[in-house]
């Protein structure tokens, strides 16, 4: 939202995660994750969830080996609404990318075998 009250949507609408009827834009969660100095890069994606339809998940490349999922979730919980906090955090040495360097968000649930 700008100073005049106009709202701008960034990112792709098909990346939207709908969990329990609530909309979560991955970019918003990724911005919060970027605030954590221990995270080198991250991507937020949806995984299927039997109860909520979709679950918010994060794939993280950590700067330090000490970073754990509980720390990531606590950081998000302090800054986001509860339904936006990743329920699953997976740690990778690098994020999957195309030849041009774009993160392949849509392949993450299958590649990581994130299920309900």
Rounded distance between C-alpha atoms, residue 42 and residue 62, angstroms: 9
Percent of residues, the chain, with pLDDT higher than 70: 87
Q: How confident is the model at residue 13 (pLDDT cuts 50, 70, 90)?
A: low
Distance of CA 102 to the CA centre of its chain: 15
Mean pLDDT computed over 41-57: 93
What domains appear along the chain, each with residue ranges and CATH number? 15-112 (3.30.300.30)
Backbone phi and psi for residue 78, each to the nearest 5 degrees, phi listed first: -75, -15
Each residue's pLDDT tens digit, 92-106:
999 989 999 888 887
Is residue 47 within 8 Å of 115, Cβ to Cβ? yes
Higher pLDDT, 67 or 7: 67
């Amino acid at each position: 939202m700008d100073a005049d009250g106009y709202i701008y949507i960034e990112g792709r609408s098909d990346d939207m995660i709908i969990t329990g009827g609530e909309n979560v834009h991955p970019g918003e969660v990724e911005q919060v994750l970027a605030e954590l100095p221990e995270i080198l890069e991250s991507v937020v994606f949806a995984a299927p969830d039997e109860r909520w339809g979709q679950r918010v998940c994060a794939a993280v490349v950590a700067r330090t080996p000490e970073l754990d999922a509980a720390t990531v979730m606590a950081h998000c919980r302090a800054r986001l609404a509860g339904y936006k906090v990743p329920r699953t955090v997976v740690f990778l040495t690098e994020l999957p990318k195309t030849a041009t360097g774009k993160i392949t968000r849509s392949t993450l649930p299958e590649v990581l075998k994130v299920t309900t």
